[in-house]
Structure 1
Amino acid sequence: MPDWSPASDQRLTRAGMNTQTGLSPRQKAAIIVRLLLDDDAGVSLDEFDSDRQTLLVEEMANMELIDRRTRDDVITEFCDSLEAVGVTFPGDLDGTLAILADRLSDDTTDRLRRLVLMSGRGDPWPRITELPQEDIQTLADNEAVELVAVMLSQLPVEKAAATYSALERERARMVAQSMSLTRNIAPQALRRIGLVLAQAADALPRPAMETPASDRMGDMLNFASSELRDDILEMLDNEDAEFAVDVRRAIFIFAHIPKRVEPRDIPRIIREVDQATMLKALSQKSEEEAAAAEFILSNLSSRMADGLREEIADLGTISSEEAEAAANEVVATIRRLQMDGELKLILPKDDE
């Protein structure tokens, strides 16, 4: 889509849109858009800001008849300019960051966005809509209700609904009363409010480590020996009961499989684990681990389950250390599948 902004005149002339037709680059751009509209090309102007849309409308309003030769010259120049382009850049930070995507760290991306906002350039709202839900909820709980109403009007519907539903009853009523003020808000005021909310979001405290301490402790205890795990949990129960509860919820071990894994996911897990390892894991004798093993076998086809039972019986004596190490490998596989989005663990209940 051609650019009809004031700054485009020189750029388009350099790119090959010469002035042989006696038309300015913006007039030529208006002709191209008009032809696309006639051709039912599904042209959308939503991506352009209000100033550019206004320039287009004004240019088209001042034009009347264009002869065929001029039309053909404009089309030829436009096609030549497209063919002459070797590489294009977005021309703004948001587009540039979209190209770089995973190449930049989250910290670098966030810092660049903040620098642009502080310089008075850029739209703050894309950054606000991309904030984590907990940050948006914090803003909704603490900022002036008028600002919150504007924020909710700019968020995606699902995010706005989740935020609003989590507000306290009285605050939710106050925000609802303020929503009417968002109907006729001017673009300049909308941008100023966005800047205020972006600055408030920047001021929110950030943990030095993204992974909660309880989750990290739980991950480590997942692969500790059962004796060490029980000892640590008992110590935490005595020293910090609240932390101990969070750690217990983060722990996922072989014995938890019946409560945390969907039966339909068992065949997939079996395929991912080395058979010798799985046989050792299924051979455990303690009550909870044996129940988990039976849960796995009962969610396989009868033929496969019977075959595995026969192979387990042929294993002979397996030390508890070998069986526990194999069970940990099964747990590691389940965690990997979870991280890859190939299965979802059932959340533990409060009393578990």
Structure 2
Amino acid sequence: MSTALARQDDDFAAQPFSSPGAPSRSLSRREKAAIVVRLLLAEGVKLPLMSLPAALQAELISQMSRMRFIDRQTLREVAEEFATELDGIGLAFPGGVDGALKALEGAISADVIARMRAQSGAFWGEDPWETISRFDVPKLVEIMQRESPEIGAVILSKLDVSKAAELLGKLPGPEARRLTIAVSDTADVMPDTVRCIGAALAAQLQAEPPRAFTAASVERIGAILDVSPGPTREEVLAGLEEEDREFADRVRAAIFTFVDIPERVDPKDVAIIAKTVEQPSLVAALAGAAGDPKMAVVSDFILSKLPGRLADTIRTEVAEFGPVDATSSEAAQIAVVRAVRRLVDSGEIKLVTASD
């Protein structure tokens, strides 16, 4: 339908103006397109007129403003002609690079798509700000720090309030103050300017080359070392410190082990973790923690945050479990850590960080 309308609209400027009361054959395609649009709108059809070039949208408004009444016979003839033309369309191609990329998504390689986006400035969706709002806060912080306060103020104004507040909180104090001052000047920014800014930023964000691994290298190594035996973990970290001490420090900060549970796990999430871990593994992990003061803190934290009846059951099983050798204890504790990581990766829980 939009293809046929666009085809009629393309002839807007090329046809002379005729009286709307004349037979349909004497009407220009500009007038016929206006009649079809008016008819479809009256029937409650939502037309994709926003996808037309701005000049054609303006021509349509101008034409409709000059027309008054159309007799039933003329309306019927115009509608039949439009239906015939619509029925004759065998295949419609998407308009522009953006439409072509959407049509070919999944059929061509991701790196080619990224390269074409970068070259054309194409982005997904009708509204570029919807595209921008889907990116996480750290990525938006990077953009904000590269752009001027005026552009940053537009970004801040277009995001939903909660995300804008989180974004503002991640910026250094002086930058946050400059942005809030700049927001006061956004009232006079024209809508077309805001859309152009959004289109440029959306294309910039989506033009980044695809990565084989989405997590940062520090996070990947940290997650691997989380579930590695203690001696292996320390040996790897020692080797990293010899090669790159700064990188090793960042990896240490990213590591989450059994002993970190009281500081990094939200108390309300302990019951969720306990349901995910097989109970024999949880019992063995807690039993193995009994002889180490640091591990005993973890055991007390977990048991104190479980529902009373479940906590009593596990305490009884821990007491009856008997001595646990170091290897079995560490394996059980790694099983608990793996369960925590799975829940974090699935979004069911979130680890507490120093900034929370």
TM-score normalised by structure 1 residue count: 0.70
**For the Cα contact (< 8 Å) 1:149–1:178, is it kept in 2?**
no
2:294 paired with 1:288: yes
1:339 equivalent in alignment to 2:336: no
Q: Which residue of 2 aligns with 1:156?
A: 159
Q: 1:59 — aligned with what?
A: 63
Amino acid at match of 1:293: S
Residue pair 1:5, 1:26 contacting (<8 A) in 2 also: no
Find the counterpart in structure 2 of residue 50 from structure 1: 54
Matches for 1:81-230 after TM superposition, within 5 Å: 90-98=94-102, 107-117=111-121, 129=132, 137-138=141-142, 140-142=144-146, 148=151, 152=155, 155-156=158-159, 166=171, 168=174, 172=178, 176=182, 179=185, 183=189, 211-230=215-234
1:302 to 293, 304, 308: 308
What does residue 5 of structure 1 align with?
A: 6
Selected match of 1:279 from 278, 283, 289: 283
Look up the SS of the partner of 1:283 in the other structure: helix
Bigger drift between 269-278 and 203-212 goes to 203-212
Which residue number corresponds to residue 320 of structure 2? 314
Render the CA deviation track for 1:263-316: whole Å, top value 9, x for unaligned.
222222222222222222222232233322332222222222222222333333
Equivalent residue, structure 2, for 1:255: 259
Identity of aligned pairs, percent?
Answer: 33
Gaps (5+ residues) in structure 1? 11-19
- Separation in 2, partners of 1:161, 1:154: 11
Displacement after TM superposition at 1:321 (Å)? 1.0
| CA positional deviation for 1:102 | 6.9
TM-score normalised to the size of structure 2?
0.69
Check whether the contact 1:281–1:327 (CA below 8 A) recurs between aligned residues.
Answer: yes
User: Structure 2 stretches of 5 or more lacking a match?
Assistant: 12-22
Partner of 1:326: 332
Deviation at 1:253, TM superposition (A): 1.0
Check whether the contact 2:222–2:255 (CA below 8 A) recurs between aligned residues.
Answer: yes
Alignment match, 2:20:
none
Which has the larger displacement, 133-142 or 204-213?
204-213
Counterpart code for 1:109: I
Judge which range, 292-301 or 195-204, deviates more: 195-204
Mapped contact 2:115–2:209 kept (Cα < 8 A): no
Give the whole-Å Cα distance in 2 for the aligned partners of 1:252 and 1:194. Answer: 38
Given residue 63 of structure 1, which amino acid in structure 2 is its aligned partner? M
Please state how far the C-alpha of 1:213 moved relative to its aligned partner: 3.8
- Contact kept, 8 Å, 2:121 with 2:204, in 1: the verdict is no
The aligned amino acid for 2:2 is P
Which amino acid in the other structure matches residue 320 of structure 2? D
How far off is 1:63 after superposition? 2.8
Q: Is the 8 A contact 1:149 1:182 kept in 2?
A: no
Q: CA RMSD in A?
A: 4.8
- CA contact 1:280–1:326 (8 Å) conserved in 2: yes
Mapped contact 1:218–1:250 kept (Cα < 8 A): yes
The one-letter amino acid of 2:119's match is L
The alpha-carbon distance between structure 1 residues 24 and 258, as it changes in their structure 2 partners (threshold 3 A), is: farther
Q: 1:43 to 1:210 in 2, by over 3 A?
A: closer
- Count of residue pairs brought into register by the alignment: 335
